[in-house]
Chain A
Amino acid sequence: MSNSHSYNKAEEIGTVVPSKYTSVALLGNPNVGKTSLFNALTGARQYVANWPGVTIEKRVGTMFYGDRAFRIIDLPGTYTLGATSIDEKVARDYLIYESPDLVVVVTDAMNLERSLYLLLQVLELRGNVILAINSIDEAKKAGIKIDSKELSKHLGIPVVLTSAFTGEGIGNLKEAMLKISRSGIHVHYLFPERIEKLISKLSSSLKLKKELENFDTRWLSIKLLERDEEVLKLTGIDPGADYSADIANSRYEFIKELLKDSYRDSEKHYWDLNTAIDHVVTHKYLGILVFFAIMYLVFQVTYSFAEPFTTLIEIGFNALGAFVDKSVPIPWLASLLSDGVIGGVGAVITFVPSIFILFLSLGILEETGYLPRAAFVIDRVMYSMKLSGRSFMSMLLGFGCNVSSIMSTRTISEPQERIVTILVSPFISCSARLPVYIMISSVFFGKAAGLAIFSLYVFSVLFTFASALLFNKLLFKGKPSPMIMELPRYRKPTIRSLMLYTWNRGKHFLEKAGTIILAASIVIWVLSYFPTGNILTSFASILGKSLEPLFRPLGFTWQMVTALIFGGAAKEVIVSSLSTLYGASSLPGNPGLATLASQITPPVAFGFLIFVLLYFPCFATIAAIKNESGSWKYVWITVLYGLGIAYLLALITRLIGGAFL
């Protein structure tokens, strides 16, 4: 920011009229750094990932500069203004129907040619556009030279070189926004004469339609020539032939001419460190093996590195429980606090280090830019299941939380592929299931616990793929949409962004511990204590024992059945339920957690873990399925299919495991 235009925040706020916001839309291709720029402009702390499709809904923030207040809107990434997927539609509809005062088209300095295509489409639609060429720091390192003044001269709009990472050019961008908000600017570039004649002919007929007076007729004409389905429907005019290829070609010709004098690439850019890494990690066969190895290391790290911290927390909660037990004179209250609240919530909190380490590992993979490569190498496998690598990226998010996985399917343009991904996403093992795996595996599998957990994750992925294939065969008969995905450059993750990522994801676990899990722990204690004060004759026992015959073929005890029922609220509740039903020391009739190992065999324990993995999803996931699919039918399919297959596979695990062990 130049000194002459610097303002301190107090002055800025003082001169602002809050009711008069200038709305600014940030638009650009996926993964060009829109959210980073949004954070740099507004001071927000939205999570930024090194892969496309992170922003699936628009985000709003405010910025004060000069005598103006700006409302900044971060739109989902889009390659074109032809709405093919939900996130692209969000961006396009915003520009057309909300009509922001300014549009900042964010482009990537490393891929300027492709990024400019979107800019031209925006210029066809409206005025007051600024071009921000982001990641200029990386371009400089790669030896790329961009002449912003030359570009600005040819385009007729302000062009600013920025780096949201280093902060370079952010002040200039703010200044450009202020200038345009005061003056306004509208430019058009011309297509070849043949196309221009058609545009002008169509524009004349569109101007006669009163219902279209709020639309730019030139833009509508171009879209009609491209045979945009929505515009065809809106105008009711059919121009006959499809000119989309001619229009696209003339846009690329224009870009080529534009960059001739203003963009200099460097030769070293063609085989750099990125290309070298990609040569190996996106290899047809080796890429899949490397991905498998990385995922194994991630889950081993999650289990093994967290162990000392888990032990420390466990010791702390045990001491706290014992202290409360001794200090509170009323026996039932002491039991509620030590066994219900501290025992129940503590059993879940114990696994916080594992959850945070898992997110930190996934964060490193995301931040470095490896995850899109994983989607790329797995795309071939996915295609045989009539899915694309884009579905796989949604599924990968499911390792954190199934809800975000289901939400991210908005980036999938093919409706049936999207529905199938929504239906199978709950089978990806989310972080809430991890505490259950660790608890049961450490009791039954000792040193092989890490391997048992990894095998559950591998099984979860394989089962998800198999289910996708099945749903595709039974429900749909279509082909997957081909995956066209830009692989982002590798980046060294910063400590700050990793901490932000880990905290943003992990804090939900802590929030749940303080809300749902706390409430569920109290309910479970009440059901275990009343009416007799003995677990064996409690309401929980009546509930579990009434359903236990159904689960007898699987070898589950009534305590396990009760825990599964409460697990519907959140999967972590299974841990707190088992902890109370088995480990509540002050409740008569409880057998103690160690006795679980003598009650059931390791195959039954593994079957239980498979059941936990596959049976119906938590309530939040069910709500997300309903919202995103728009139909209860799909909720029922997921729930009934999951329950049925969980039962069957837990039974098979018990039978096969029993035969060998």
Chain B
Amino acid sequence: MSTRLVTILLTLFATLMSFIAINTIFGFFLTIPNPVFGVIIFINALVYFYGLLESRDYPKRRKAHLLIGSYFSYLLALFQILFVLAFWLNGKIEGYCNINLQSVNFPLVISGLIASFVNDYVKKAYN
């Protein structure tokens, strides 16, 4: 995996997760406002940003940020899916439906899915 590709992916994900964090804090698009969870997503964006701050002379360090950042993004997406599932299941037991398109936070889920592929790719470098 070339250093150039690592840098591109770090920049891409840092920007993407920052936008998703702002979107989650204010609830602009396909999500309900959730300020605290938005801050958690921003911490994920910081993992990528800090990777960009690493010196180009140490590509392994940059790669480490991409590895952990993508794993974190995947984990957040998984958490969101399970959270919605639990919410839906509870509504089903109590006899009502409390799920809508807004509560799923699709941008986060989709970015997590993409991050999982990146994570697999980076992890291979260590095996």
Measured CB to CB, the residues of A under 8 A from B are 271-273, 275-277, 279-281, 283, 286, 289-290, 292-293, 296-297, 300-301, 304-305, 307-308, 311-312, 315, 451, 454
Q: Are B43 and A293 in contact (CB under 8 A)?
A: yes
Q: Which residues B27-45 have CB closer than 8 A to chain A?
A: 36-37, 40, 43-44
Task: Produce 1/0 per residue, B84-110, CB < 8 A to A.
Answer: 001101101110000000000000000
Q: Are B89 and A308 in contact (CB under 8 A)?
A: yes
Task: Produce 1/0 per residue, B49-72, CB < 8 A to A.
Answer: 010000000001101110111001
Q: Are A296 and B61 in contact (CB under 8 A)?
A: no
Contacts of A283 in B (CB 8 A): 50
Contacts of A286 in B (CB 8 A): 46-47, 50
Tell me, in angstroms, the Cα distance from A360 to B47 when the chains sit together.
Answer: 26
Contact of A289 among B46, B67, B90, B123 (CB under 8 A): B46
Q: Are A297 and B40 in contact (CB under 8 A)?
A: yes
Q: Are A300 and B79 in contact (CB under 8 A)?
A: yes
Contact A277 to B68, CB < 8 A, known contacts A290-B47, A311-B93: yes
Contact A292 to B43, CB < 8 A, known contacts A277-B68, A300-B79, A301-B79: yes
User: Least Cβ distance of A138 to chain B in Å?
Assistant: 14
Interface contacts beyond A279-B65, A286-B50: sample of 9 additional A-B pairs, CB < 8 Å, sorted by A: A280-B47, A290-B47, A293-B40, A293-B44, A297-B79, A300-B83, A308-B90, A311-B93, A315-B93
User: Least Cβ distance of B112 to chain A in Å?
Assistant: 13
Q: Are B86 and A304 in contact (CB under 8 A)?
A: yes
Chain A minimum-CB-distance residue to B122: A276
Tell me, in angstroms, the Cα distance from A301 to B86 when the chains sit together.
Answer: 10
Is B82 interfacial (CB 8 A cutoff)? yes
Chain B minimum-CB-distance residue to A315: B93
Contact of A279 among B36, B64, B76, B82 (CB under 8 A): B64
Q: Are B90 and A296 in contact (CB under 8 A)?
A: no
Contacts of B83 in A (CB 8 A): 300, 304-305
Tell me, in angstroms, the Cα distance from A537 to B76 when the chains sit together.
Answer: 53
The 9 closest A-B pairs by CB, nearest first: A276-B64, A280-B68, A308-B89, A308-B90, A279-B64, A273-B126, A293-B43, A307-B90, A293-B40
Tell me, in angstroms, the Cα distance from A300 to B123 when the chains sit together.
Answer: 28
Contacts of B63 in A (CB 8 A): 276
Tell me, in angstroms, the Cα distance from A518 to B89 when the chains sit together.
Answer: 30
Contact of A281 among B68, B76, B123 (CB under 8 A): B68
Chain A minimum-CB-distance residue to B98: A447
Tell me, in angstroms, the Cα distance from A451 to B47 when the chains sit together.
Answer: 24
Contacts of A292 in B (CB 8 A): 43
Contacts of B60 in A (CB 8 A): 271, 276
Q: Are B86 and A305 in contact (CB under 8 A)?
A: yes
Contact of A272 among B46, B65, B68, B126 (CB under 8 A): B126
Contacts of B126 in A (CB 8 A): 272-273, 276
Tell me, in angstroms, the Cα distance from A296 to B40 when the chains sit together.
Answer: 8
User: Least Cβ distance of B72 to chain A in Å?
Assistant: 8
Chain B minimum-CB-distance residue to A290: B43
User: Least Cβ distance of A439 to chain B in Å?
Assistant: 16
Contacts of B92 in A (CB 8 A): 308
Contacts of A273 in B (CB 8 A): 123, 126
Main secondary structure of the interface of A (DSSP, over half): helix
Q: Mind listing 25 A-B residue pairs with CB under 8 Å?
A: A272-B126, A276-B64, A276-B68, A277-B64, A279-B61, A279-B64, A280-B50, A280-B69, A281-B68, A283-B50, A286-B46, A286-B50, A290-B47, A293-B40, A296-B36, A297-B75, A297-B79, A301-B79, A301-B82, A304-B83, A308-B86, A308-B92, A308-B93, A311-B94, A454-B36
Tell me, in angstroms, the Cα distance from A279 to B47 when the chains sit together.
Answer: 11
Contacts of A293 in B (CB 8 A): 40, 43-44, 72
Tell me, in angstroms, the Cα distance from A451 to B38 when the chains sit together.
Answer: 13
Chain B minimum-CB-distance residue to A451: B36
Tell me, in angstroms, the Cα distance from A271 to B76 when the chains sit together.
Answer: 27
Contacts of B43 in A (CB 8 A): 289-290, 292-293
Q: Are B82 and A305 in contact (CB under 8 A)?
A: yes
Contact of B86 among A281, A296, A307 (CB under 8 A): A307
Most A CB within 10 A of own CB, among B60, B64, B94: B64
Tell me, in angstroms, the Cα distance from A531 to B87 when the chains sit together.
Answer: 45
User: Least Cβ distance of B127 to chain A in Å?
Assistant: 8
Tell me, in angstroms, the Cα distance from A633 to B79 when the chains sit together.
Answer: 46
Tell me, in angstroms, the Cα distance from A610 to B15 when the chains sit together.
Answer: 39
User: Least Cβ distance of B47 to chain A in Å?
Assistant: 6
User: Least Cβ distance of A438 to chain B in Å?
Assistant: 13
Tell me, in angstroms, the Cα distance from A641 to B50 when the chains sit together.
Answer: 42
Chain A minimum-CB-distance residue to B127: A273
Chain A minimum-CB-distance residue to B35: A451
User: Least Cβ distance of B74 to chain A in Å?
Assistant: 13
User: Least Cβ distance of B118 to chain A in Å?
Assistant: 14
Tell me, in angstroms, the Cα distance from A289 to B49 when the chains sit together.
Answer: 13
Contacts of A277 in B (CB 8 A): 64, 67-68
Chain A minimum-CB-distance residue to B36: A451
Tell me, in angstroms, the Cα distance from A276 to B47 when the chains sit together.
Answer: 13
Most A CB within 10 A of own CB, among B68, B83, B94: B68
Chain B minimum-CB-distance residue to A310: B90
Chain B minimum-CB-distance residue to A455: B36
Contacts of B86 in A (CB 8 A): 304-305, 307-308
Contacts of A296 in B (CB 8 A): 36, 40
Contacts of A311 in B (CB 8 A): 90, 93-94
User: Least Cβ distance of A310 to chain B in Å?
Assistant: 8
User: Least Cβ distance of A362 to chain B in Å?
Assistant: 16
Contacts of A307 in B (CB 8 A): 86-87, 90
Q: Are B64 and A280 in contact (CB under 8 A)?
A: yes
Chain B minimum-CB-distance residue to A285: B50
Chain A minimum-CB-distance residue to B54: A279
Tell me, in angstroms, the Cα distance from A293 to B46 when the chains sit together.
Answer: 12
Contacts of B46 in A (CB 8 A): 286, 289
Contacts of A305 in B (CB 8 A): 82-83, 86
Contacts of B37 in A (CB 8 A): 300
User: Least Cβ distance of B9 to chain A in Å?
Assistant: 15
Contacts of B89 in A (CB 8 A): 308
Contacts of B82 in A (CB 8 A): 301, 305
Contacts of B69 in A (CB 8 A): 280
Contacts of A304 in B (CB 8 A): 83, 86-87
Chain B minimum-CB-distance residue to A268: B126
Tell me, in angstroms, the Cα distance from A536 to B47 when the chains sit together.
Answer: 58
Contacts of B61 in A (CB 8 A): 279
User: Least Cβ distance of B1 to chain A in Å?
Assistant: 13
Tell me, in angstroms, the Cα distance from A311 to B98 when the chains sit together.
Answer: 15
User: Least Cβ distance of A387 to chain B in Å?
Assistant: 25
User: Least Cβ distance of B48 to chain A in Å?
Assistant: 10
Chain A minimum-CB-distance residue to B34: A451
